[in-house]
Amino acid sequence: MRREYDNPKVGLITLIDPRKEWAENFKKMKGIDLMEQTKVSISGIVAFLKRENVEVVDKGMVKEKIGAINHTEDLLNGGIDCLLIHVPGWSYASYGVSAARVAQEKNTPIIIWGTSALSGITALKGALDEVGLFYKLVIGNPEELDTLNKVLSFIKASYVFKSLKNITLGIFGGRSMGMFTTSIDIAQYNKIFGIDIEHIDELEIVRVAKHVSEEKIEKYLNKLLYYIF
């Protein structure tokens, strides 16, 4: 069961090109240090998420499949709400697919975020589509407000999704006045959200209400009126 009032928790892995010589040659030809550029990008992502009260577990740069799998398993065991796969440039899509598959098997939402070059993120997107894994795609740099808002919105949604698992939803009474929109499929809710549905007779409200103090009633009535009206 989730702790009350905690913050969203995100697991971050960054996929990079495993070919060391490519980074060295690129630096010689273009004068750009890809490794340093990636470190700056990671720092920007982590700093942004922490400013938004998101707990970040950063596993750093990953350049082999077994590393992607092991890091993802560690993150899942640590209770993350969402797996963020950061793709700053070219990387092997198979590494990302392996990580995403591990996350999806544990019913954990996945977001893939492409920064800088588009080669790696487009290859990963295509691979995930081909094998039928679900994910949220975001492309843009950590300095762009629109990009950041997309990432943050998905993380918050993932937090809510994971928080719902194994909670019990109490429903008083049955279907009201024949309306289909006042009833739900219990099995479907459990399958999608992991929510258990408990039906409670309306007379239970009357029975329990007799034992609630006036002070408590006044407190929650004022709170209800404040948020609704």
At 6 the pLDDT is 82
- 181 and 134 inside one domain: no
Q: In angstroms, what CA-CA distances link 34 with 30, 31, 50, 222?
A: 10, 9, 24, 57
In a domain, 2, yes or no: no
In a domain, 138, yes or no: yes
- 180 and 156 inside one domain: no
The domain of 94 spans 9-163
Q: Which of 163, 185, 213 is the last residue of a domain?
A: 163
Q: Which of 110, 129, 163 is the last residue of a domain?
A: 163
- 130 and 221 inside one domain: no
- 182 and 152 inside one domain: no
CATH of the domain at 85: 3.40.50.1070
In a domain, 149, yes or no: yes
Instruction: Specify the number of domains making up the chain.
Output: 2
Query: In terms of pTM, does the model score above 0.75?
Result: yes
- 88 and 155 inside one domain: yes
Q: In angstroms, what CA-CA distances link 85 with 13, 68, 96, 98, 102?
A: 5, 10, 7, 11, 12
Mean pLDDT, contiguous 10-residue spans, the chain (229 residues)? 71 92 69 79 92 95 95 96 95 96 96 91 97 96 90 95 89 84 88 89 90 92 87
- 68 and 139 inside one domain: yes
Q: Which of 34, 140, 18 is nearest to 86 (CA)?
A: 140
